[in-house]
Structure 1
Amino acid sequence: MTGKVALVTGASSGIGEAIALSLSGAGALVAVGARRFDLLKDLADRAPGEVLPVQLDVGDQDSVRAAIAATIQRFGRLDILVNNAGIMLTGIVDGADTAEWDAMIRTNLLGTMYVTHAALPHLLSSRGTVVQTSSTSGRIASAGGAVNAASKFGVTAFSEALRQEVTAQGVRVVVVAPGFTDTDLASHISDPVSRDMAAQLKTMMRTLQPDDIAAAVLYAVSQPEHVSVNEILIRPTDQQQ
């Protein structure tokens, strides 16, 4: 990864933070984006290499374009994009707060699409790699997670179509689909039943850790140029679905 430039979204905590630290440790120059800018500055202080914190709301196209521009201005190129920003506001459809649906689609799906669109000219120039963080919910929909699953199925579909469009130009597209991972995502769920269910599941299995997902991402992006790892599905051993 020495000399490679990466941008990681949703890097203020959890999986995104672990990916940023992993890439930095492997020698990459890393821009880290999120809405919680203070946490990004702390991450930059802890990283083993050069890390650029950028304020980023992936659902705001002006914010996205500014983050890409700041990355290019600082490092001169972009080789790796990791679209990791996401929220998980689960709950049943009946009686749901549809504002939460808007937030999930805007962040998980449109945010991934906006950042990819803005970064793609630079990735085509560098023959780079796009990593899309999806979920097991992007393969199997479950009751109580309809809209979250819809957003993640959308990420998977968008990524496969994109792969077909850009693979002949040397750009690789990787979908990483983690199962239950020990992050703070579930703590943001407003529906008490869904929040309690997520907390209970956490006590019933050996969950994945953010570093487990970071290791998978590093594996995918560090393959030789002729090798394209298109999808990695990674579940806790104890997770059945």
Structure 2
Amino acid sequence: MTTHENDAHKQKVVLITGASSGIGEATARLLAGKGLQVVLGARRTDRLETLVSEIRAEGGSAEYRALDVTSLEDMQAFVGFAKEKFDRIDVMVNNAGVMPLSKLDALKIDEWNRMIDVNIRGVLHGIAAGLPLMQQQGSGHFINISSIGGHTVSPTAAVYCATKFAVGAISEGLRQEVSDIRVTVISPGVTVSELADSISDSEARFVMQDFRKVAIPADAIARAIAFAIEQPNDVDVSEIIVRPTASPY
């Protein structure tokens, strides 16, 4: 990367959804530490306020806004907030997700709908809010967080996996349709996060506790996101799978 390209990279404006914990928080810290300007969105604004304060104390550039990704209007306002602050957006990291696992015969329909709303509609809303501005700019980068569950299905995870398969399909469709915007799918294996906290089904929670014993830190996924962003503009890293070395899945 040339000096000019490196300077342009450091000036990039990166929007991150689900930024109050886990992969979103780790990504915000890493990218801000590399000199990028991060705009953080989540429902838990108390955590965002603390995170932004810590990033700024370390010399980074960070802003935040309350965000519910299930609301298109909220997502549009989030993008508008970033544009007002920085006059552009360069990267949208659609990271917000939920994972309340259970077998289908448990009929936890409210939880199915929540996964559809956050994991699928949240990504679509990010695209709908960010794409017009990126097309107007003639450049941009969507990084959509899927999962190893977007590549294989396991018991208790049918609906969750379906939402993550959808993230992959949507991302690939977008990549094929736009020639001046980069699209990357990051598929984490088991990673330290609060995702498992949303599991209300006791059987699924027990299975996940054992599965998560080899979890890798969220920073491992943040580094993959940074790698995709740091490539020259004519290079699109379409997909990265990051999983624990010890994991068979």
Range 141-150 or range 192-201, more displaced: 192-201
Q: Which residue does 2:106 correspond to in 1? A: 95
Query: Residues 31-53 of structure 1, C-alpha deviation per residue, up to 9 Å, x if partnerless?
Result: 00001111000110111411111
2:77 corresponds to 1:69? no
Alignment of 1:50-199 (within 5 A): 50-124=61-135, 125-166=137-178, 168=179, 170-199=180-209
- 1:200 offset after TM fit, Å? 1.7
SS of match in other structure, 1:8: strand
Aligned to 2:4: none
Tell me the distance in 2 between the aligned counterparts of 1:116 and 1:66: 13
Query: How much does 1:202 deviate?
Result: 2.2
Letter in 2 for 1:5: V
**Counterpart Cα distance in 2 of 1:193 and 1:187:** 13
Letter in 1 for 2:174: L
Instruction: Say if 2:102 and 2:108, in contact at 8 Å, map to a contact too.
Output: no
Deviations 1:44-84 (A, max 9, x none): 01114111111000001111111111111111100010000
Unaligned runs of 5+ in 1: none
- Counting aligned pairs with the same residue, the percent is 40
- Name the SS of the counterpart of 1:94 in structure 2: helix
Say if 1:14 and 1:111 are closer, same or farther in 2 by CA, change over 3 A: same
Find the aligned partners of 2:225 and 2:90 in 1 and give their Cα distance: 14
RMSD between aligned residues: 0.9
Is 1:40–2:51 an aligned residue pair?
Answer: no
TM-score norm. by structure 1 comes to 0.96
The one-letter code matched in structure 2 to 1:35 is: R
2:33 paired with 1:21: no
Give, in whole Å, the separation in 2 of the partners of 1:74 and 1:96.
Answer: 44
Does structure 2 conserve the Cα–Cα contact (< 8 Å) formed by 1:80 and 1:123? no
Paired position in structure 2 for 1:221: 229
Please state how far the C-alpha of 1:187 moved relative to its aligned partner: 1.5
Instruction: Report the number of matched residues.
Output: 237
Which aligned runs of 4 or more in structure 1 are off by greater than 2 angstroms?
none
Contact 1:77-1:126 at 8 Å conserved across structures: no
Q: Offset of 1:126 from its aligned partner? A: 4.8
